[in-house]
Structure 1
């Protein structure tokens, strides 16, 4: 799961980033509204955390633009304690929730889980399943029947993406944007390396699920040996 934080208070933004990363979210951070809108419109994020008061463009304007483009990404507004009119405006323009500063890490994480659950994109506590695979994203490991193997974070994120998309083809460009960010310098060979790592682990575990290459298009997860 990838989250965008748009917050001009740099110490707070860094603290939020560390909290989310410790809970196995991928995170991008920007500090002004115009950059926040550019990142948000890339459509690679599973959730947006928007401060209302931002330089360049305020959080409500970002929200209005995102919803005006027909994007349904969950949005949680970060508000000051007395900003009741802004909270109301945010909810009216399509925010999913708001958190008033100061807030606890546990409260924020609970609201993020709730927003993702409403969107249907939260990973269940028991992990993801596809075919004979079970993926634990909290403590990254892959289980096939009675055998299990640890995954590194990028392997876990890649397999999670393929499993969430089920049998839809995922392009290398989509993988790069989702795992590394839309302004990343990662290239197609970075994707190929991690696909190779995952295939070797599936083979070692004796899985009947395979990652199939659709030449010129991308990758798809399929059940059953070829």
Structure 2
């Protein structure tokens, strides 16, 4: 009810509903907010607001089951920020954190329209992205857009400092009979490796 959450209990008067019913409304808004805060701590990366590995582990089987139906293609991407160590060394770790947060925000904006998308901070400057695409061209267009939005919009670091950061990305489609964690992500990671050695600021599909 609006911003409030109520627990509702009802029972008949003296055991006979023909005499009427008693309705008890208990405001549990504070308890629900605490639960949501605990879930955020359990599932979210505190720096970027992306999901963490624990969340992906809890959902990956559901994603695989949904992919088996064949109604949409489960897309698996892994990407990271090019020369991130150089950014940290040049501008400091606080500014490196700004770059990570900016990347997460921009990725979420790009994938907002993608079906059942989840962005996961995989570790350090590396992220994993899962979503359902209508076809392979759609999946690849998302990869292209992710690279474009990073390179085309300088990141404001403060004190009138701006930095242009790029990403390298490896992508693949989940294949029936395989596992996302042991098959799809490692295959996407191999594509990421090729993107890095191909000059960075690009995506490679496999």
Q: Compute the TM-score of the two structures, normalised by the length of structure 2.
A: 0.24
Larger Rg: 2
Query: Greater relative contact order (Cα 8 A, min sep 6): structure 1 or 2?
Result: 2
Q: Compute the TM-score of the two structures, normalised by the length of structure 1.
A: 0.23
